[in-house]
Structure 1
Amino acid sequence: MYLMQEYLTEPAAQPLFGDAQWFAALLAFESALAESQAECGLIPETAARDIVRACEAVVPLDHAIFVTQARQSGALGVALVAPLKRWLSHNAPEALSWLHWGTTTQDAVDTAHAMLTRDALGALLAEIDALCEPLQAMARQHAATPMLARSLMQPAQVTSFGFKCAQTLASLRRSQAQLRELSSSALCVQLGGAVGNRASLGDAGVAVESAMARRLHLHAAGYAWHTQRDGWMRLGMEVAVCSGTLAKLAKDWALMSQCEVGEISEASRGSTSSAMPHKRNPVHCMQAIAQTQPVPHIASLLLSCMPQAHERALGEWQAEVAHWASLWQHTLAACRSLGLAAKGLQVHVGRMQANVDVLQQLVFSEGFVHVLSPCIGEVQAAALVAGMSEQALAQSTPLGALLLQWMEAAPSIEAAQKPPLRDALQQAADLNVAVRSSARACHELLKECAHCND
């Protein structure tokens, strides 16, 4: 990882898609292949044991030699098999003819990739859990905490901070459910042989695949998927969708933490500016935004790799393999940063209230129109509220108070209508009443999330 990437990434519990993990997974494929073929009676058990010994003996693989051989041949399988052949030729030459039997480079690489992706999926699901825990707590605590809802970046109506948290929580839980569901059709053993028809394995192909899946803790698709990448890509695209949810959360929190908004703050972390000691930058949000920025482009690149010619790809599959890890790494890093932000998030309830109050009840304009429409018609009510909204801001007077003054003096409203109209206008400007729908929606989402997580 480069310096300019590393400072945007919080340390991970374990490396993913690293060279050591790749080598281990590729060798695990060869061991599982030999053991499964022996189990199904295709190769001698002694040969399988010798191949397993060879896979253990060549660790660690020489990185420089491996890359050089793979580059020269264009096939990772050549570089993988070469050290195994050398070991077997010296220690168990009778097993040489059974090494990598009935399979091909892409079988080894796709299966190893599925193993590494399984680990990345587990890490991502855990990071989502770590983010969802504080989101759920804040949703419960602030279900009825009023704050401005904003549409097109402008104040709109009243919502609740808890509802905003619950919406993100629900989106992340939906992604978790999708990722788990899609994993069964994506994280599969690849075993097709030269052109995907398992010609060398004959009728035992399905049994060998199932045995390998059991050993490697993967799924068995029942067929090769060399150039049919739909199941694999669906899993990747759900990762990209999850990244979009994270990007939206990071952007919202960054905007809410602006000094002039001041509704939330990340936990204090000392100096965050080289020139301005007063600044308290939302560093975790910055990291998440930076990490999610490339993801749509990576997803697009991966989709562009799907038109793979005939039975084996020339370049497209290789590009997919080269860029797949970055999709997961960026999303994982963003989720990890936001989890840290959420754990230390400071919610400024008073500032949320103040941002509503400073608008002099303009956020209740729709409710005022609904109250007045039966008396004076919807068009006139909307025009009246719009005109008085400007007056409310100019005079720093609540819009409801101006409408009450107008009502008392309006000759078109009969005296008997005024008491119930007065009550209705006052209720329309009641913040506790206004936030009820958001609180109710928040609790409904929390129930939905509890069901998704069962």
Structure 2
Amino acid sequence: MTVSLADSPLWQNLFGDAEIAALLGDDALVAAMVRVEGELARAQGVVGVIPAEAGNRLAAALEGCRVELSDLAGKTASDGVVVPALLASLRNQIPPELVQYLHWGATSQDVVDTATMVQLRVVSDLLIERAQRLLDRLCDMASEHNQTVMLARTRTQAAMPTTFGAVAAIWGQGILPFQARMLAWQKGACRISLHGAAGTDAAMGVWAPQVRKHFAQALGLADSDSAWHASRDGVASLGAALTLLAGSLGKIGQDAALLAQTEINELKLQGGASSTMPHKSNPVAAEALVTLARTSARLQGALFDAQIHNHQRDGAAWAEEWHSLRQLCVAVGAALNNANAMLKTAKPDTDRMLRNLTDAGEGIFAEAAVFALSRIMPRPDAQSAVKEAIGTDGSMREVLKNAHPEIDWPQVFDPLNAAGRAPDMAREFCALVAPKQRSKSE
């Protein structure tokens, strides 16, 4: 039985991510913990905390160990953490003379936190790659449609002309920072935890820094000079980066759903069927992006709350992270999958965009008219002249043309000209994405 939509057989293809769930699941966590114990022994052997031969033999022996989750479940519930049960299983499988060197100087939280970072390092690489694919697609859309005029809408109302390329660029601007945030997190906060029971290096003493150096290098993680058992900003910062990305994806979904709605119909999306209305095509992927963004925000709230750890270690706040962090990663992975799938087949209807722009009337050029008149009169007078022209029974354009023939009114009322720097914004966004495309192919 499942109670989460992320792993529900009915809903996981929409709200879940099987690939990320497998990378973060219990089997993967246990495998990472076994690897952590092995690399710890090897690093301690290199430094001399334990005999070098024992360290290498123990690491090799652990690679051959097999652990069944069902064997760990009962003791995990009674201990509140899986490590004691795991160690009991491993001790039964390794040579007796090596047992004393297993888990030397570490604490349960060191093992779980480090193993979790091993998992998250792989997941973060995967999310970066998916985000890049999305940026590539948005760049293609921005480039192709940098001069495709359409109606900009502010607070749901017709505002003035823009281009669909600029819309795609704005969507992409919300995705661009994610990769830098994740790379910074990988470099700094994706780190080992190895400071012992109370975070004081009491067991390994002066050898601890060298052990950590070799340990971190073997695992491909950052080193950690200080204990972070009760300092969880690194975890919270990962969640924040993921939640910011989810929010940007939710923005794309919200806009896409609105552009696809019947009365606007400027973006064609592959949709889902209605149970009773054959004509409908519901924007399922777009709606899922909004749902996942809101879900991610709530999960991140729990990670912020879990920063409040008491004393040197806190089982309650620590467990609160477990309830949220993996779910957040899966939600963001699902959102990226939905966004990539949706935009891969999305088709802008350029004819409908132009028709909606025309149907909005001349009012959408009012600001452009004000600034054109401001070249020959004070801006308050220009605003009054435009308001007066709008209030007449005739065409605002004709009224202004007759009153001020010296103005180039065809240019003022040209949609692409009125869109300002929208085409340039699209091109500038693509220029930011292009270096990433080149580095990816090198």
Please, what TM-score do these two structures have when normalized by structure 2? 0.91
Number of the residue aligned with 1:284: 285
Of 398, 402, 408, the match for 1:401: 398
Shift of 1:449: 3.4
Q: Give CA-to-partner distance per residue, 1:35-70, whole Å, 9 cap, x none.
A: 1111111112343244334423432x2212212111
Secondary structure, aligned partner of 1:158: strand
For 1:447 and 1:375, locate their aligned partners in 2 and report how far apart those are by CA, in whole Å: 37
Alpha carbons 1:85, 1:96 under 8 Å: kept: yes
Q: Give CA-to-partner distance per residue, 1:332-362, whole Å, 9 cap, x none.
A: 1111101011111111011111111001221
Of 433, 437, 441, the match for 2:417: 433
Report whether the alignment pairs 1:45 with 2:42: no
Alpha carbons 1:250, 1:289 under 8 Å: kept: yes
Alpha carbons 2:38, 2:62 under 8 Å: kept: yes
For 2:152 and 2:405, locate their aligned partners in 1 and report how far apart those are by CA, in whole Å: 31
Query: Where does 1:33-72 land on structure 2 (aligned, <5 Å)?
Result: 33-59=40-66, 61-72=67-78
Specify the code of the residue in structure 2 equivalent to 1:51: L
Shift of 1:157: 1.2
Of 207, 210, 218, the match for 1:207: 210
Specify the code of the residue in structure 1 equivalent to 2:426: C
Number of the residue aligned with 2:186: 183
Alpha carbons 1:156, 1:363 under 8 Å: kept: yes
Alpha carbons 2:41, 2:102 under 8 Å: kept: yes
Specify the code of the residue in structure 1 equivalent to 2:68: D
Shift of 1:300: 1.0
- Measured at CA, do residues 356 and 275 of structure 1 come closer, stay the same or move farther in structure 2, by a change above 3 Å? same
Secondary structure, aligned partner of 2:161: strand
Specify the code of the residue in structure 2 equivalent to 1:307: I
Query: Where does 1:48-447 land on structure 2 (aligned, <5 Å)?
Result: 48-59=55-66, 61-88=67-94, 92-267=95-270, 272-373=273-374, 378-386=379-387, 388-389=389-390, 398-404=395-401, 407=403, 418-421=404-407, 423=408, 425-447=409-431
Shift of 1:134: 1.1
- Measured at CA, do residues 199 and 11 of structure 1 come closer, stay the same or move farther in structure 2, by a change above 3 Å? closer
Shift of 1:175: 1.4
Specify the code of the residue in structure 2 equivalent to 1:87: Q
Specify the code of the residue in structure 2 equivalent to 1:112: A
Q: Give CA-to-partner distance per residue, 1:109-131, whole Å, 9 cap, x none.
A: 00011011111101111110121
Secondary structure, aligned partner of 2:162: strand
Specify the code of the residue in structure 2 equivalent to 1:140: S
Shift of 1:106: 0.3
Secondary structure, aligned partner of 1:200: coil
Of 12, 15, 26, the match for 1:9: 15
C-alpha RMSD of matched pairs (Å): 2.1
For 2:79 and 2:315, locate their aligned partners in 1 and report how far apart those are by CA, in whole Å: 13
Alpha carbons 2:273, 2:281 under 8 Å: kept: yes
The percent identity for this pair of structures is 28
Query: Where does 1:12-31 land on structure 2 (aligned, <5 Å)?
Result: 12-13=18-19, 15-31=22-38
Alpha carbons 2:139, 2:429 under 8 Å: kept: no
For 1:266 and 1:5, locate their aligned partners in 2 and report how far apart those are by CA, in whole Å: 20
For 1:332 and 1:10, locate their aligned partners in 2 and report how far apart those are by CA, in whole Å: 8
Specify the code of the residue in structure 2 equivalent to 1:233: A
- Measured at CA, do residues 330 and 387 of structure 1 come closer, stay the same or move farther in structure 2, by a change above 3 Å? farther
Q: After superposing the two structures, state which structure 1 stretch, 285-294 or 383-392, moved more.
A: 383-392
Specify the code of the residue in structure 1 equivalent to 2:424: R
Secondary structure, aligned partner of 2:150: strand
- Measured at CA, do residues 384 and 27 of structure 1 come closer, stay the same or move farther in structure 2, by a change above 3 Å? same
Alpha carbons 1:360, 1:398 under 8 Å: kept: no
Count of matched residue pairs: 431
For 2:148 and 2:218, locate their aligned partners in 1 and report how far apart those are by CA, in whole Å: 52
For 1:84 and 1:376, locate their aligned partners in 2 and report how far apart those are by CA, in whole Å: 85
Shift of 1:2: 2.0
Alpha carbons 2:45, 2:56 under 8 Å: kept: no
Q: Give CA-to-partner distance per residue, 1:253-275, whole Å, 9 cap, x none.
A: 111011110111114x6x62121
Q: After superposing the two structures, state which structure 1 stretch, 138-147 or 432-441, moved more.
A: 432-441
Structure 1 residues without counterparts, runs of 5 or longer? 408-417
Structure 2 residues without counterparts, runs of 5 or longer? 1-6
Q: Give CA-to-partner distance per residue, 1:407-435, whole Å, 9 cap, x none.
A: 2xxxxxxxxxx4313x2x33211113123
Alpha carbons 1:139, 1:165 under 8 Å: kept: yes
Number of the residue aligned with 2:3: none
Secondary structure, aligned partner of 1:260: coil
Alpha carbons 1:183, 1:235 under 8 Å: kept: no
For 1:30 and 1:110, locate their aligned partners in 2 and report how far apart those are by CA, in whole Å: 12
Specify the code of the residue in structure 2 equivalent to 1:216: L
Secondary structure, aligned partner of 1:328: helix
Alpha carbons 2:32, 2:115 under 8 Å: kept: yes
Number of the residue aligned with 2:432: 448
For 1:448 and 1:45, locate their aligned partners in 2 and report how far apart those are by CA, in whole Å: 50
Q: After superposing the two structures, state which structure 1 stretch, 214-223 or 250-259, moved more.
A: 214-223
Shift of 1:315: 0.5
Alpha carbons 2:35, 2:63 under 8 Å: kept: no
Alpha carbons 1:266, 1:282 under 8 Å: kept: yes
Q: After superposing the two structures, state which structure 1 stretch, 75-84 or 43-52, moved more.
A: 43-52
